Amino acid sequence: MPSPWRRHLYFAAGWVLTAIGVIGLVLPLMPGTIFLIAAAWCFSRSSPRFEAWLIGHPKLGPQVVAWRRTGSIARRTKYIACGSMVLSFALVAASDAPPIALWATGACLIAAGTYVASRPEPAGD
| pLDDT tens, residue by residue, 1-54 | 568 899 999 999 999 999 998 998 887 667 788 889 999 999 999 999 999 999
Average pLDDT over residues 95-115: 92
| pLDDT tens, residue by residue, 42-68 | 999 999 999 999 999 998 888 888 888
Q: Is residue 124 part of a domain?
A: no
Q: Is residue 98 part of a domain?
A: yes
83 plus 65 within the same structural domain: no
| pLDDT tens, residue by residue, 65-90 | 888 888 888 788 788 888 888 988 99
30 plus 49 within the same structural domain: yes
SS (H, E, C) the chain: CCCHHHHHHHHHHHHHHHHHHHHHHHCCCCCCHHHHHHHHHHHHHHCHHHHHHHHHCCCCHHHHHHHHHHCCCCHHHHHHHHHHHHHHHHHHHHCCCCHHHHHHHHHHHHHHHHHHHHCCCCCCC
The domain of 32 spans 4-70
Q: Is residue 29 part of a domain?
A: yes
pTM across the whole model = 0.71
Q: Is residue 108 part of a domain?
A: yes
Q: Is residue 125 part of a domain?
A: no
What's the number of domains the chain is made of? 2
